[in-house]
Amino acid sequence: MNALLENPLWIVAALAAPLILLVLPWRSGWLGTIAVLAWADSSMVFGDVPRKIQVRFALLALLVVQGAIRLRGRGRGAVPAFPLIAIALLAALSTFWSETPLPTLAFAGSFVLFTTISHAFVARYGANGPMARTTVNRVVGVMVALIAVGFLPPLRVDALLVSGRVRGFFGNPNGLGLTCALLAPFAALAFSRAVGSRRVAAGALLAAFLGLAFVSGSRTGFGGVVVGVATTWFLLHPSRFLLGAVAAGVLVSLASLAGGDVDLESGPVATLARTDTVARISGRLERWEAGLARFREAPLLGHGFRSSFGYGTATSVDPDAPVEVTTSGTNYHSQHIETLVDLGAVGEALFLLVLFGALRRARRVAGRRADPAAAGVGAALAGWFAAAPIDSFFHNWFFAVSPYAFLYWSFVGLAAGLDANRPGAAPPPRPRLLGLSRAARVGVT
């Protein structure tokens, strides 16, 4: 503790954070939290400060306090779907049988904070289509600015390329690819709805997302861009031609990779194809086999939420040194394998229900033809919820304290808010958490 207090940067942050969160509009604090969590996952200077798990937990808690104070009586939240409540409850209860009870309790707490923030507060910005569209546009603006910052050499502490793959702002090239996949549906929405110079700008942004996902070498990122954009456009303008074009594009890509005229030894195609790792899916099959064997030891409820990483704390002879979190477990590189190991078959079933439920809710909003603004945001959110599950088979960030998880669950809440505010919808039960029972249908800022 003394080591932290001796660092002036920590002192300034500790004093400034509560003041900023209580003075700024709640949405600005939420956007700032997204930026801080993204910076913690970056390869930029000062990234070690927000990377501390204590800082991220403190920011989330402050955001809840700020929402309870500044959004009291303004707008209305949404009730989380039953599978989401159930998986949060299962995560918390798994503390009792977890092999790492304290980390399990901490991560279960962070997931509860994510759910609270998304449904009690973010959902209020789904009161109408224009408000929701403004919210997602600001998120895209923040993330695009961070991506651009990643190409400024003075702010970098690591190389721009990793094994020929571009990582830009992020600590890992897959982070760049995933971010492009998750943001591309909103650029597709802007391109579909804008006219004139704004349409040109939206098209350029969409092309940039596709290009960056390509040079990142992230297969799931590049595929996520295609799936997310195709889903968004299809919901906006149902077309067999669009489906045929996407299928043709996939077939042409596979044929070109299988052919002999493509240089797979150098250039962006080499990083995307990486034919030497395709057979074993970048070494993941061995991890998945180990995870399934571990799952069979506790098939019903698992070994405890996030316990597969084997979190622990490193001891130090210096009592003033900060506590360091260590891992001795296995990263299964698949959210589904990790969930089977940690929460068993029950947890995996609930997780699948959450994934498909979010997509179904966004599709329902997208079908609201009487409200074009809400329908557009719903279509883009459906693209987001279609792209994210692709990544869930090969990466495991959904329950981590990461920017991707924070954004995903926030948009689950936004979709819930849009759906709850549809014409003719019954008002949800009044939430009792943190005195939010006086929520009313008015705008929020």
Query: pLDDT tens for residues 146-188?
Result: 999 999 988 888 888 888 899 999 988 999 999 999 999 999 9
What's the pLDDT band for 390 if we cut at 50, 70, 90?
confident
Q: What percent of the chain has pLDDT over 90?
A: 51
Neighbouring C-alpha atoms within 13 Å toward the C-beta of 299: 3
Contact 379, 232 (CB under 8 A): yes
**How confident is the model at residue 330, as a pLDDT?**
80
What's the pLDDT band for 4 if we cut at 50, 70, 90?
very low
Q: Which tokens sit at 147?
A: 């991506």
Q: Which tokens sit at 34?
A: 């997204």
What's the pLDDT band for 237 if we cut at 50, 70, 90?
confident
Q: Of 108-117, 271-280, 367-376, 406-415, where does mean pLDDT reach its minimum?
A: 271-280
Let me know if 364 is exposed, middle or buried by CB neighbors in 10 A (0-12, 13-18, 19+): middle
* pLDDT surpassing 60 at residue 434: no
How far, in Å, CA of 118 to CA of 88, rounded? 13
**How confident is the model at residue 9, as a pLDDT?**
56
Which residues are CB-neighbours of 47 under 8 A, at least 6 positions away?
39, 40, 41, 157, 171
What's the pLDDT band for 243 if we cut at 50, 70, 90?
low
Tell me if residue 75 falls in helix, strand or coil. Answer: strand
How far, in Å, CA of 354 to CA of 347, rounded? 10
pLDDT higher at 13 or 139: 139
* pLDDT surpassing 70 at residue 442: no
Domain borders along the chain are: 2-438
- Helix residue spans in 1-97 (DSSP H): 2-5, 8-23, 26-40, 48-51, 53-70, 82-93
Strands 165-166 and 161-162: antiparallel
**How confident is the model at residue 15, as a pLDDT?**
64
Residue from 417, 428, 387, 442 nearest 129 by CA:
417
**How confident is the model at residue 130, as a pLDDT?**
94
* pLDDT surpassing 60 at residue 138: yes
**How confident is the model at residue 282, as a pLDDT?**
57
**How confident is the model at residue 351, as a pLDDT?**
97
Contact 103, 306 (CB under 8 A): yes
* pLDDT surpassing 60 at residue 5: no
pLDDT higher at 335 or 7: 335
* pLDDT surpassing 70 at residue 259: no
Which of 15-29, 199-213, 229-243, 274-288 ranks highest by mean pLDDT?
A: 199-213
What's the pLDDT band for 41 if we cut at 50, 70, 90?
confident
